[in-house]
Structure 1
Amino acid sequence: MDLTMLRQFAVVARLEHLSRAADELHVAQPALSRTIARLENELGTPLFDRANRLRLNPAGALFRGYVERALGELDAGRRAVAEATEQGSGSVRLAAENFLALTEPLAVFRRTHPAIEFALQQMPATEMARRLRAQDVDFCIASQPVPSAGLESAVLLDEAVSVVTPLDHPLAGRGSVTIDELADEPFVTARKGQWQRRLLDRLFTERGLTPRIVCESDEAGAIQELIRAGLGIGFNPETARRMVPDYPVAWLAVDHPECRRTLSLLWSAESRLPTAAQLMRTAIIGWDWTPGSE
């Protein structure tokens, strides 16, 4: 087996779909199928179940972990050599659920270290632990708990989450509301797995309630616009209020001690971070995340 074979397997394993993997790799699907078949032949066992749809089997899942760690180590070595031989000033790979809270610290870091390249990737929290351990990324920023085995973390911000309503909503004049008072309200929210949706589901479930969801979206801007237009209400953190202070919606405190968001920076405990990544970690942790500061 060679590196090309392993890199192609890693993509197929991640997507569990041959045609999408072929598109991402810019190779023909029949050629990719032959590559996976050769790899399985060398290992002496199938790596995928092919009934109905392509799915990693237990052997494939086991092998995937080793492949991702090996590829991550090779990439880390390449970056370390480039840095040691002064082939540029280094690079950083950062993933986050969304980048709204990161625009200012990243802009300042860019101005302070203009020669450092960095790549940003939007990523669901469910992928973060695996991708960090595989060294696909240097850091992740999450707004919800991430399995911590093999990871280190630093809390960046703990902030209140409010209910946002249209200006003409019956609750708009209130200073605060309870979860019970929101039981029959239509919610515009993020898809399952995103922190806003998990918070909404958790707070309602503990009260024996089911949220009435009228729209799901991955676009924070679209959610805000739909709320403003009167289609429903939704949860939003104080960071969003600070970023657009004059946006025409009403903000109501939620009378619940756990209606909050905790923003954390995570990295692999075993990774050897290059100098550029260490500089960014220091800058992000040292940033004043207090609402209203810049």
Structure 2
Amino acid sequence: MYIQKRFSAADTLIYAMLAALALLVLIPLWRILVISFSSQEVYLTDTYHLIPKSFSLTEYKRAFGSLGGIVTALLRSVQITVLGTFISMILTSFGAYALSKRDLPGRAIIFRFIVFTMFFSGGLVPFYVLVRNLHLIDTIWALVLPTAISTYNLIIMKNYYASIPPSLEEAARIDGYNDIQILFKIIIPISLPVFAAVSLFYGVALWNDYFLATLFINTNKMFPLQVLLRQMIIQDMVTAEVGVMTSGSNMEQFKMACIVIGMIPVLAIYPFVQKYFTKGIMMGAVKE
């Protein structure tokens, strides 16, 4: 017999708090969309409206026409994100699989050295000198190789692999599989939740990163989307200060349109990996 559960006062309070937190996130996003799609006349006369009173693609047209390279920058960001995520997942999965082996010689020492990098680094200048000496300046490799492995993501995958029953590998070895075959044919296929979660971490970080590009990229055609949007906003700020803003445009609306352009790819991909996200993080973050 099905018994309907009644909500207690505590449950009501929890749901009310969660709803309030959701509104704190959704309202700013909704306002960004409303501003970016509003016409200039409506925005200037009614700045704080949350219900769309007009519809205009002027700022989006302006964004795609600015500096003549937003499409190229968008494709460049996609290239960096896909290539960087692929390289990062390959290297992270290899490293995590090796560190998950209890019989690995020097495993504890190696793991301590890896964790040490989470708290201390060599500094920005040595980092730049290293990339320059490797002749990676002004190449896509400067954006994906130096930060290819995240220690945090490596630990998540390592803990996930360690939670897999050893009997699976033992059975595979009886069938004649070596370590590489076990990784690709046994471990990775049953690790899709953590793979999806860590891939999302790497992908979002690569998509949003602009610091490495401003540090290592000198050619405009090599700039990813985030750097180009930053340049466009700075350019608008400068033109506004000297009083030469083009007619029919608004700097605030233009900023909102740039933000939406940068968010759309991530928002389009996230729903497809959401079901793996929580499961992968929880299973990889708990050490048995």
TM interval, shorter chain, is: under 0.3
TM-score of the superposed pair, with normalisation by structure 2: 0.22
Q: Relative contact order: is structure 1 or structure 2 higher (C-alpha 8 Å, sep ≥ 6)?
A: 2
Whose Rg is larger? 2
Considering fraction of residues, name the structure with more strand.
1
Considering fraction of residues, name the structure with more helix.
2
